[in-house]
Structure 1
């Protein structure tokens, strides 16, 4: 198994996309890229810690390449919005890639170039790190496991992201 870390707005909205990808074994919500050790959700939401809401994807590199994950990442969020995704505003919602080694860093640079070639507006996604990963609190990890816990914001934001995934990567989506 291999891992990848992406920040593209609300971690629940990003998590929902990657949970549907063939070859993805697990997705964990968390925080990365800031200055405070072991931050809480409330601290990250304040925008004062420097952390981004992010996801850590565990995937099978035999069935899914890191480059494929990057392409999915760029299609399912707006990498041209600086420090925001839709109504989520602040550096904690920035578009960022956190490579775990030099190969991922090179792939991330190539992924940004591919994304930029498909857009007129500048891609503002940053490549950051190395940085320490902090898992979000347990209640965030269980968010999508309980039907009654879904909120209206996520229910409005996630379906269009899933439609983009299914339209652009139909052969990569779980049944």
Structure 2
């Protein structure tokens, strides 16, 4: 099993997408990349903790290659937007990849390079060492599945889930 920590806007969207993929055994929404110990959602939302909303995606690389996990990341958000994704604005919504070792860093850099062939304009995705990772509050875990009729889920997360289902169909779990 392998785990990648990725940030690309609201963690609800990343969580929703990665949970649909074969070989993904766990997705944990949380906070990393900041200075505050044990931040709350409310504190992170102020943008003053330095943390990004992120997901820790644990997967089996024999079922879904690491490159697919990373290509999905660059497909489901716009890595050219600095400190925002759509209407979600602030450093907590930045595009970032947090590596645990040199091998992960190389994978992340290669994925960013592949993505630059797809996206026009400069990719601003931060690639940084993983510091401490703090799990988000329980109500953020698997938020999309628990709140399918919630406005943000319908307007923002669902289109991303559908985009990945279409683009990566052979890796998507049966509904």
TM-score normalised over the length of structure 1: 0.94
Q: Is 1:151 aligned with 2:150?
A: yes
Q: Distance in 2 between matches of 1:145 and 1:71?
A: 23
Pairs aligned (count):
174
Name whichever of 38-47 and 116-125 sits farther off: 116-125
In the alignment, which residue of structure 2 is the partner of 1:129? 129
Which residue of structure 2 lines up, in the alignment, with residue 31 of structure 1?
31
Stretches of 4+ moved more than 6 A in 1? Answer: none
What does 1:23-172 correspond to in 2, within 5 Å? 23-141=23-141, 143-147=143-147, 150-172=149-171
Deviations 1:83-136 (A, max 9, x none): 000000000000000112211100100000000011221111110123110000
2:38 is equivalent to residue 6 of structure 1: no
RMSD, aligned CA = 1.3
1:2-52 C-alpha deviation (Å, 9 max, x unpaired): 111100100011110000011101111000000011100011000000000
Describe the SS at the equivalent of 1:73.
helix
Give the distance between the partners of 1:164 and 1:144, measured in 2 at CA. Answer: 15
Question: 3-state SS of the aligned residue for 1:28?
Answer: strand
Q: C-alpha separation between the residues in 1 aligned to 2:11 and 2:145?
A: 15
Q: Distance in 1 between matches of 2:26 and 2:170?
A: 19
1:76, 1:145 → 2: CA distance?
18
| Gaps in structure 2 of 5+ consecutive residues | none
Segments of structure 1 that go 5 or more residues without pairing to the other structure are none
